[in-house]
Amino acid sequence: MKIEQLVYSADVPFGEFSVTPTLLFIFGNRELLETGVLTNELASKYPNAVFAGCSTAGEIAKESVKDNSIVVTAIEFEKTTVQTSKIALDEINFSSSEAGKKLVSQLPVEGLRHVVVLSDGLKVNGTDLVKGMQEALADDVTLTGGLAGDGPHFEKTVIVEPDGKVATESIMAVGFYGPALSISFGSRGGWDSFGLDRMVTRSKENILYEIDGQPALDLYKSFLGDKARELPASGLLFPLSMRDKEDRTPVVRTILGINEEEKSLTFAGDIPQGSFVKLMKANNDRLINGAEEAAEVAAEGMDNPEFALLVSCVGRKLVLKQMIEEEVESVSQVLGKPAITGFYSYGELAPFSRDTSCELHNQTMTITTFRE
């Protein structure tokens, strides 16, 4: 595996790769991606490369975190092959689970080891997307990925499709094939829950209407105090811890939108009726420790990776502010300084541990490591 990385911005011209890319990971600012200038240039220069990317809430290049750039990572595999699939959400009437099944059905089965999925970040229910993909994938095929971002704006997100075209309301997946490739992963948060367990008394899929019989938005605003005026962005600072079964590891859910008329909250993944939720808050040290723990989990599955794909949450970036690079540096140190790319997302997709299936997370650092 040979890996090279270049960073493009409006005032920095794009260079040349010395490798012949099998795969180009492209993560960048939405408005820069939408011009199509860079992706068109790359598609003409590297017609045999497969593209995989999306818009972000921040780009990760080596140990640095960037804004308003496009980070392109070229990977030339020696023995591993890749196949791709894509789907426009209007083709399946915006059914996230159907999208997941269709994405997998387009990938050849034989030799498939791992799938990375990159999805629209605002029009997709991440829980249903993962369920659909898991149903269609063989048990021994692992799945990781993320939901595209749009800075702190939450207006729209874009995907870089396999042919290099930039599309809205789309999902794409890359399948990795062959016995030469080793994959590992880890996902951890580091947020602290506080207050009482509260029951979800009315919800539908990823829309929460009532907690303990009270309108969800009213209750949530009472928690936030002055910060309620800055919703939905301020919701990233106070996610919910959610568990739908007594014995289950809680997952974190982040607000994507609010509805003042319905007094409801919309999340990136399901909040089942009857589940229990708690408010969460962060401190910087705990978040950075959480990123380290994610790297340690990934390292348990593989020593000395050559490449790491990091998907971290926009909420972590808003909390850590100028300390944000510390979480990337801590991951790099634990993993032995592999080549790193990735992005700040609206949702992270990974198993919590090696013996569990993939699910949607929010507010985590999620890592996929590769070695050929």
DSSP for 213-276, written as a single string? TEEHHHHHHHHHGGGGGGTTGGGGGS-EEEESSTTSPPEEE-EEEEETTTTEEEESS---TT-E
Beta-sheet pairing, 166-168 with 158-160: antiparallel
Are the beta carbons of 75 and 3 closer than 8 angstroms?
A: yes
pLDDT of residue 12: 77
pLDDT of residue 307: 98
The whole-angstrom separation of Cα 200 and Cα 277 is 7
Whether omega before 47 lies within 30 degrees of 0, making that bond cis, reads no
Provide the residue-wise pLDDT of the chain in tens; the chain has 372 residues: 999 999 998 787 788 999 999 999 999 999 999 999 999 999 999 999 999 999 999 999 999 999 999 999 999 999 999 999 999 999 999 999 999 999 999 999 999 999 999 999 999 999 999 999 999 999 999 999 999 999 988 899 999 999 999 999 999 999 999 999 999 999 999 999 888 899 999 999 999 999 999 999 999 999 888 989 988 888 888 899 999 877 677 889 988 889 999 999 998 888 999 999 999 988 899 999 999 999 999 999 898 999 999 999 999 999 999 999 999 999 999 999 999 999 999 999 999 877 788 999 999 999 999 999
Residues 6+ apart with CB under 8 A from 113: 141, 142, 176, 177, 178, 179, 181, 183
* Helices 126-136, 96-105: inter-axial angle, 10-degree rounding: 30
What is the pLDDT, as a whole number, of residue 300? 94
Rg (CA), the chain: 19
Q: Residue 345: which of 326, 330, 323, 360 has the closest Cα?
A: 360
> What pLDDT is attached to residue 195?
86
Count of Cβ atoms closer than 10 Å to residue 229 Cβ: 9
Segment (H or E) for 65: strand 64-66
The rounded distance, in Å, linking the Cα atoms of 329 and 335 is: 10
What is the maximum alpha-carbon separation in the chain?
A: 61
| Predicted pLDDT at 42 | 96
Q: How far is CA 41 from CA 198, 280, 337, in A?
A: 52, 44, 30
Nearest to 26 by CA among 47, 5, 3: 5
| Cα–Cα distance, 200 to 271 (Å, whole number) | 8
165 touches 39 (CB < 8 A): yes
* Sequence-ordered list of residues with C-beta below 8 angstroms from that of 115, at least 6 positions apart, any chain: 104, 107, 133, 137, 141, 142, 143, 144, 145, 173, 174, 175, 176
For residue 152, give every residue at least 6 positions away whose Cβ sits within 8 Å of its Cβ, in sequence order, or none. Answer: 57, 233, 314, 318
Query: Are 354 and 343 spatial neighbours (Cβ–Cβ below 8 Å)?
Result: no
pLDDT of residue 198: 94
User: What angle in degrees, to the nearest 10, is found between the helix axes of 284-301 and 324-335?
Assistant: 20
